[in-house]
Structure 1
Amino acid sequence: MNAPFVYYSLALDLGGFEVTSNEWSSFMNIAYRYVEALSNRNSATFFPFIDWWSHQASTADLLRPVQFPDVLPSNANMSSHPSVLHIEGDFTSMHHGLPPSETKYDIVVTLFFIDTARNLMSYFETIRKSLKDGGTWINLGPLLYGSAPFLQLSLDEIIDVCEGLGFEFLDTDPKCGELTLNGKKARGTTVPYGLSERSLSKNAYKAQFWVARKTKNGV
């Protein structure tokens, strides 16, 4: 069972990127289709805080509107070659039956994603198979395991397993957070989640960020 977002990016040239995104959740896919169909900035409005009765400083805060989209989806300009292709379905099988030349990417970005795996090893294998040799895997997200996982690895175990699969973890900018573990290159950064800045409470993850390169070595 796959949930939040995974983005594959295929570099074309200095002019830009082609991006293939993937999402399993039907609820998120419905929202994606709706936003994709919008053709004007800030053309839609919703009230995300209207049912947040707890931890409020004022009733007026519940009624604050939010307009979207602040940036138009690339497909909204109806170009003949849109830069984003969205695939709905299972991350680990969405490329089954396609030739390897069509399923190898320069960059894979996993955003609030890897902890949604029921089989974490299948995620790592899919990420590795989706990258060209020398390709880059960028991750940001917590380790909040759900979906009845078969395996729940700690951060140091994830790094050890992925190094065994042929990933080399790279140095990253200290602006991305503090090193979580001595001798490891993953960084932890506080990421608000479902946060209203005017609320009397806060919810945030110590999300883990890393950049890893796929090498020719590994099992």
Structure 2
Amino acid sequence: MTEKEWEGDFDPMADPEEQKHLLSVLDSFRSYRHLAHYNGTHLRRQAFYSLPSSHWTLLSQPPFSILDSLSKMDDLIDSNAILAEAIFITGFQAFIAPSLDSEWVAAIVPEKYAHDQYQVYSTVMDHLKAESTQTNMEKARSCVNQFYREWSEEGRCEREKCFDPVVHSLDAEFSLRAESRKDLSKSDLKVLVPGAGLGRLVFDVCRAGYTVEGNEISYHELMASSLVLNHIKSPGQFTIAPFALSCSNHLTRADQFQTYSIPDVHPGTELMKSFGGEKIPANERMSMSTGDFCVLYSQPGSKESFDAVATVFFIDTAPNIIRYIEAVHNCLKPGGLWINLGPLLWHHASQSPNTNEEKEEKRGKAEKYRNVDTGIADPGSVELTDDEVVALVEHCGFAIEKHEPGSVNTGYITNTRSMLQSMYRASFWVARKK
């Protein structure tokens, strides 16, 4: 990426609520080790020893060796935690460190921790009274597991099914345009990837030669993608066990405790290789914007900025998909391409606040942001079928050039050795702005 890792008018430290949320996200990665040990093995040991003594004695011995398995799980939690804490450090450096007073930090950090980056940042977090939420802790665990899908060799199968159709569609579009413009370079085509996640699709599109901008609103994903795209030293730098903490539906303990090296490639090295005959070096063709997709790309400053928009497992995150369609239409150039692949697991089904406190908080936010475009946080939601989505896209100024409903069978962070297999029959379609 460019030296400035994230672009856009975005200062989370300027708003108390946003700052509180940011600190909660950072704390969720910082707390990964402790909470995973507590929930993953401590509570299981308690439950195990609550069995009749003759039963737990039996299960402690081969071939069961349950206590040995829990010890192995502890080791794998520590391995996962190394990655979680690296994400914490990356996020802290990006969002918190620039605003800190060095003398204040020196005053609160014990001398024994002065050369331990993690302990320095952790001490500051304690003084800032950072405290994570259950939701953010679950997102941190999910984010660590997501590295399997996006940045392991074994996750290639899922990536090929979901990302390759996007790159192939871009290549076909480039070939079509190059017929009438012989001097056209792939780097001349600017692609937007909303919901960029851990950045692998952004990376793959850039490696294919295009100029690409990722967009992401989640701090968890932003911090993790920054680590892998900007701070990785070598392939296989981290080892993760994404299925270790779930003890259900395994045929063997070996299946449960599978480990994977990530990343499968060194992004910087790979992008240098991809420079080839393109006009612009790869590190200048890839960027990431931070913030709400609806708000950022509905603005006049984004109008007709991109030749293509690629959405993968993204559009069902919309409470109101019309907002997404309008934003895509606004930021695409006339004749630009919208490439979409994914299911419709609508994330924002209509829910009413349950407690008086939640109702009061909702009213307070509505009052505070009365005259502000809150984008994805706008009230209301709707869930459409695939054919209704396509009809709506057509109604909003696009011509559907390809529609293959249910054509892509893929899992999402799927343990292929598990007794339980969940598969999506994702829809793939390509639309052109009229």
TM-score (norm 1): 0.79
What's the offset of the Cα at 1:194? 2.3
How many Å separate the matches in 2 of 1:97 and 1:206?
Answer: 34
Contact 1:74 1:84 in 2 (8 A): no
Whether the 8 Å contact between 2:298 and 2:326 is mirrored in structure 1 is no
Residue 34 (structure 1) shift: 1.5
Going from structure 1 to structure 2, the CA distance change for 1:95 and 1:160 (only over 3 Å counts) comes to: closer
Instruction: Return the structure number with greater strand share.
Output: 1
**Over residues 103-123 of structure 1, what are the superposed CA-to-partner deviations in whole Å (9 max), with x where a residue is unaligned?**
511110001010101121000
What runs of 5+ residues in structure 2 fail to find an aligned partner?
1-142, 144-165, 175-183, 188-208, 273-280, 351-380
Give the structure with the larger helix fraction.
2
The one-letter code matched in structure 1 to 2:257 is L
- Counterpart-to-counterpart distance in 2, 1:163 and 1:80: 34
Question: Residue 69 of structure 1 aligns with which residue?
Answer: 263
Q: Give the match for residue 117 of structure 1.
A: 318
Deviation string 1:114-169 (CA, Å, 9 cap, x unpaired) is 01011210000001111111111110111111134611111121111111112111
- Which TM-score applies when normalising by structure 2? 0.41
Aligned match for 1:82, one of 273, 284, 296: 284
- 1:32-61 deviations in whole A, cap 9, x for unaligned? 112121131222211111112110010112
Q: Distance in 1 between matches of 2:270 and 2:430?
A: 31
CA contact (8 A) 2:297 2:327 kept: no
What's the counterpart of residue 154 of structure 1?
Answer: 385
Q: Percent identity?
A: 34
Match 2:232 to one of 22, 33, 38: 38
1:100 Cα offset (Å): 4.5
* Corresponding position of 2:296: 94
Query: Highest relative contact order (Cα 8 Å, sep 6+), 1 or 2?
Result: 1
Report the RMSD for the aligned CA atoms in angstroms: 2.8
- What SS class does the counterpart of residue 135 from structure 1 fall into? strand
Q: Does 1:22 align with 2:224?
A: no
In our comparison, the structure showing a higher alpha carbon Rg is 2
Contact 1:194–1:203 (8 Å) recurs in 2: no
**Residues 115 and 96 of structure 1: CA distance in aligned 2, closer, same or farther (over 3 Å):** closer
> Which 4+ runs in 1 deviate beyond 6 A?
75-80
Q: Say if 1:192 and 1:203, in contact at 8 Å, map to a contact too.
A: yes
CA contact (8 A) 1:38 1:76 kept: no
Distance change (3 Å), C-alpha of 1:130 and 1:74: farther
Unmatched runs of 5 consecutive residues or more in structure 1: 172-184
**Partner secondary structure for residue 93 of structure 1:** helix
Bigger drift between 194-203 and 81-90 goes to 81-90
Map 1:194-205; keep pairs closer than 5 Å. Answer: 194-205=413-424
Does the 8 Å CA contact 1:75/1:84 hold for their aligned counterparts?
A: no
Alignment correspondent of 1:132 = 333
The residue aligned with 1:178 is none
Aligned-residue offset at 1:96: 6.4
2:298 & 2:323 partners in 1: Cα distance? 14
Aligned CA distance change for structure 1 residues 187 and 88 (closer, same or farther; 3 Å): same
Q: Which amino acid aligns with 1:87?
A: S
- CA distance in 1: counterparts of 2:325 and 2:423, whole angstroms: 25
